[in-house]
Chains A and B, each alone.
Chain A
């Protein structure tokens, strides 16, 4: 159990650093999702099951979904801009 905890903590730090450093926004969002899942497992290990369930549903689910939707929306705005510039 100790090694499992250490592995999770190491993965957490690695996920945090790669989220900060990755160039592509989509990649960093996916790594952030993984970060949330690892965090929820750590909370389950810390004997806080309420927090684990909530973080898995909110942090990894809805929060990441909203980030993805924003990225998609920004992309569509960008594409539309390009089309508008081509037209005239």
Chain B
């Protein structure tokens, strides 16, 4: 059992990081902290994906000297998928930050509970 855990250390660290990001996303009321938690969750899942394609002792998938033997290179497919994911996550972060700035301008608070409260008051005000 311990040996198995030792062998899978990178994936276990990825799971722990995912949980940390998840808890940050749930517990913190601050919107910026929530965005950071989302980013941590992103990178944790990318770490898990990348570790699936790794093989002990093999090299990065850049063909050297015309050697196209598949048993010499790691899997290029997870790397390609994760490359897409990193750029998408940065655009999501930019969008969330822009939304945060707009919310702060309107409600002058980063606290999500306070924002809910103020929004409910505004609704009543309109009625």
Contacts and interface: CB of A to CB of B under 8 A. Distances in A.
The answer to whether A and B touch in the complex, with CB atoms under 8 Å apart, is: yes
Interface of A: 6, 9, 12-13, 16-17, 19-20, 25, 28-29, 32, 35-36, 39, 42-43, 46-51, 54-55, 58-59, 62-63, 66-67, 70-71, 73-74, 77-78, 81
B90 A58 contact: yes
14 contacts: A16-B21, A17-B20, A20-B37, A35-B43, A39-B43, A46-B54, A47-B58, A47-B59, A48-B53, A48-B78, A48-B79, A51-B50, A51-B79, A66-B94
Interface residues of B, number: 47
Q: Is the interface of B mostly helix, strand, loop or mixed?
A: helix
Q: Is the interface of A mostly helix, strand, loop or mixed?
A: helix
Nearest to A39: B43
B14 to A, nearest CB: 9
Contacts of B87: 54, 58
Nearest to A6: B9
A43 B51 CA distance: 9
Interface string B88-121: 0110011001001100110010100000000000
Interface of B: 9-10, 13, 16-17, 20-21, 23-24, 28, 30, 32-33, 35-37, 39-40, 43, 46-47, 50-51, 53-54, 58-60, 62, 74, 78-79, 82-83, 86-87, 89-90, 93-94, 97, 100-101, 104-105, 108, 110
